[in-house]
Structure formats: structure tokens, C-alpha cells
Structure 1
């Protein structure tokens, strides 16, 4: 469900008490500027396992509270249109302030080299080992393309992509800005080239503490 208070998140609320959303996706930035319109913008119908279909973000969110989307390759393709709905749903759970953001130059490289693929479900997780559990170490033969906010790895058998859509900084206790909790909204594209498997999901990535060289971990949103 979407929080109505989030539609007027910045009114009468100090910035230190707000969730700070720094968007890197133009689509998400536009949606957060006008949530009412974004919630009801028509999309390709997405089928759910109870036989119902969602055709916009509001219907999608309501159906997700009780039912998962139907599992089929075509439905998975359509779900790619609804990734922005996942982000809106997550962000609008609490008052927020959204701004456009430019990521550090090494952000996508960090996902390539340090995102632990054992921490969330994908077509790659069953192939991970203690030594090989990042995109860089697991898909060593793949062709890698990176931008400031995305990384794509393509092999003869599959295509795997990660796009950072937003960086979220949650309010800390007692307004201590130094202890704000940060996480990334990342859109995952996971395809096998034989056409038998496609998945487009939203991943919540938790960066390690800045002073460490630890790994990034993730969890799928929403959980189903």
C-alpha cells in the first residue's frame, strides 16, 4: 500500500527527520515529483496467480499484498515495467525528500566486484562458491559494460544487469546525520538466452561500512 502522507512529504517536516532519496533514474525522479499521476499511469497488464491483473502501480501494489505475480516468461518481461512501482512503494512508506543525484564514478564497479550473489535469489546463486560469488569472479568470461549507475555482464548463455535507481538515506535516531542508514534501490535484469528464463526484480542493496572493504549484500523487494 502507498502512504498518503508521502504525497506531501516535505511539508512542515525538518529535512533531518525525512528519508533522503537521491534518484539516478530519470523515470523514478519524474514519478516521485507527481505520485498521484505515477500511481495511475497505464501499463501493460501484469497477471497475478489469483487470476487478477494489474494495469498500473496502484493496482500492482494492492494485489502484491496478498498474491504474487504469475510465473511465466512473458509475465516476467512485463514486470520490468513495474520496477518503478516497487521503488515508489518502498520510498512512499515514510515521509521523504527526493533530489536528483550523481553517483560516485566507482559505484557500478563496486557492484561488479563486491556484491555478494549468495545474499539474494537469482539464476546465479546456485553457481556461487566461497571463492566465486561476485559478478566479476563468477562470470569471468563475460563481456562487461559499465556506466556511472549500471553494470551489464553478457556471456554466451546469459545476460545479467544491475541498475542503481536511487540511493536512500534513512533518518537516524536523535537526528545524528553521521549514523543515517543507507541503502540502494537496484533494478536487476536476469535473462537466459535460450528464452526459458527471464527475471526483472528490485534489489535493496546494503553497502558495507565506508571504512571497511566488506561486501555489498542484497535482498529482493518485495518478498513474495
Structure 2
């Protein structure tokens, strides 16, 4: 985890440099590989120092302090949570790229271009278990109905290769895949890569009473997940 602003900046820059060196000397599979699908995130990872200190709209935290860049945001998240208000939720949308950089730069990594399979957005629509993470739809989910397709069955669906959005008369819910992250893992004596998606969630009620923009880590189906994709909010507060 990131402990201080200084560690965030120095470690992130060190990781980006060591990632290139390691890919040349020890093989790419020894590194976390990041396949970016978001141009904004791709640009951010190319120049971490600039990303950390680029000025943003101030985001208020529950201790009264405010973050105005990714470094301050990351530091405050260590012990505090963003203040809960509709306006603060809107502002937090600017900081989704900070979440992704914070998550990725904890390890040495190599950035590559990535083209998602044509079925990726459809998988989020039909197979992401909305019981696995908090959202405005979480309490409406049941054992029989817990995907975006089933919970917003009357909604208008718009899909691209890396995003899906569903709009009803009352609500707008979107999922955008910003990156595919593959981390080294050992499977007995064979080194493999474990993959997950960094997904940006937009969750809005049209009456203006609720808005949420968060980062979601989506993991592929496993035998225990019953063939469903599952997600966890990052950071959890």
C-alpha cells in the first residue's frame, strides 16, 4: 500500500523505470503487464510525476482536508474517506485515473497497448455479479436477478468494445474498462499471469439525489463464482 506522498511519487517513478529494464533482462512475464484501453490512463502512466501533481477540482475529505491532485488524494485515502455529498461524488470522477495509477504503480509494470475481445462489454452486461460490490443496484439484486441486464431490463443499452451503459427513465449506469492488468503468479512450477480488469463505474439517479463514480476491480469467473464475473471497489472507502 502507498504510505506517504513521497513514497507514492518516488516509488511510482522507480517502478516505471525498473519495468522497462526488467522486460529487457528477465522477460516480460516477470512483470505486471498493463494493457490500457483508456487513452487518459495510457497518458497518465507515461508520465507519472506529472500525473501525480496535475491540478484537479478540490475533493473534500471527512477530516475537513481537501485533495487537489493525485498525490494528495492518495495520501488522504490512507486514513480518511471522501466526504459524502452529490457534488463531491461528481468531483471524484476526476480522480478515477488516480485510483488506477495508485493500484498499478504498487508493483513493477510494463504498459502495452491492448485490444479487448469483442465480447468484453457484453460480459459486463450479462455476467458481472452486482451482489459482489456496493452500488445503487446492490440491494435490488437477488439470487435469480443480479446482473445489469436483468436488473435494468427495461433500459436502453449502448455498448462499445470497452464499455456498456444502460439508461432507464430513473437511472444511468455505466461500466468502462480502463485497463487489463496481468500479474505474475506461480502455478506449481509454471509461472502464469492472473488477469483482472480495472473498470470505471458511473452510477446516477436522474432525480439528482444519488451519484457515484468509483473504480472497480473485476475478476474473471471461477468455479466458486458460478461462472460469473465478480468485482470489488478500489479503494474500498
Q: What range describes the TM-score normalised by the shorter chain of this pair?
A: over 0.9
Q: Does 1:9 align with 2:1?
A: no
Aligned-residue CA RMSD in angstroms?
Answer: 1.6
**Matched residue of 2:19: which SS?**
coil
1:163 aligned to 2:176? yes
Structure 1 unmatched runs, 5+ = none
User: Is 1:100 aligned to residue 147 of structure 2?
Assistant: no
CA distance in 1, matches of 2:167, 2:52: 33
Offset at 1:173? 2.1
- Give the distance between the partners of 1:94 and 1:207, measured in 2 at CA: 21
Residue 79 (str. 1) matches residue 88 (str. 2)? no
Residues 120/213 of structure 1: CA separation in 2 closer, same or farther (3 Å cut):
closer
Q: 1:88-127, aligned counterparts within 5 Å?
A: 88-127=101-140
Deviation at 1:82, TM superposition (A): 0.2
Report the CA distance between 1:155 and its aligned residue.
0.5
Whole-angstrom CA distance in 2 between matches of 1:21 and 1:12: 16
Q: Does 1:176 align with 2:190?
A: yes
2:67 matches 1:54? yes
Contact 2:67-2:76 within 8 A present in 1 as well: yes
Q: CA deviation at 1:213?
A: 7.4
Q: Is the 8 A contact 2:178 2:200 kept in 1?
A: yes
Q: Separation in 2 of the partners of 1:108 and 1:10? A: 29
Residue in 2 that maps onto 1:35: 48
1:66 aligned partner: 79
Question: How much does 1:9 deviate?
Answer: 3.3
Q: TM-score, normalised by structure 1?
A: 0.95
Kept in 2: contact 1:9–1:97 (CA 8 A): no
Residue 40 (structure 1) shift: 0.7
- Structure 2, unaligned runs of 5 or more: 3-7
> TM-score, structure 2 length as denominator?
0.90
